[in-house]
């Protein structure tokens, strides 16, 4: 795995814990969104270039159809500090298999979204992201990063970085 081969490139307060299960294997988590705000210098950085070259040599873009969402999410989690990554809970997202309805009073009634089908907000990966980020950025927080039901689903991209 890239992170094990290049620990010097991992940010000190990275979100790597969001990406792995209890056995240290990639858990399939990534952001389900086509909405990103990124400083392009991040993609031009030596760390990202080394990571991308590693993935390209592995052949997964061509043979496995590795997509931009997990590739970008994993890079952000490894190479940025937790305080540099923001999850936009107030912006909706729709993909045929994934729906995320925006949250917050100002978004109520301003979009067409079936909250009963919304998965991302309460999904395991989003909840885990919020909990890991809070443990790094605000370890003494008295309000939990998430409360309520956590929905689980089989990860769609489990094989991206596993040795299987």
Catalytic sites, residue numbers: 36
3-class SS at 94? strand
Which residue has 């991302």 as its token pair? 120
DSSP 98-157: EEE---SGGGTTSS---GGG--TTTBHHHHHHHHHHHHHH-TT-SS-S--S--B----TT
Question: Which one, of 55, 33, 39, 35, lies nearest residue 125 by Cα?
Answer: 33
């Amino acid at each position: 795995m890239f992170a094990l081969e290049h620990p010097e490139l991992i940010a000190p307060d990275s979100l790597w814990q969001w990406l792995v299960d209890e056995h240290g294997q990639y858990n399939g988590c990534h952001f389900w969104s086509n909405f990103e705000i990124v400083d392009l210098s991040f993609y031009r950085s030596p760390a990202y270039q080394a990571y991308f070259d590693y993935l390209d040599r592995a052949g997964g873009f061509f043979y496995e159809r590795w997509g931009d969402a997990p590739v970008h999410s994993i890079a952000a989690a490894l190479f940025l500090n937790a305080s540099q990554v923001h999850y936009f809970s107030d912006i909706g997202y729709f993909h045929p298999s994934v729906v995320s309805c925006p949250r917050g009073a100002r978004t109520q009634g301003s979009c067409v979204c079936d909250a009963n089908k919304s998965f991302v907000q309460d999904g395991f990966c989003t909840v885990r992201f919020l909990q890991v980020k809070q443990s790094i950025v605000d370890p003494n927080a008295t309000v939990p990063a998430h409360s309520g039901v956590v929905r689980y689903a089989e990860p769609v991209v489990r094989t991206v970085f596993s040795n299987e």
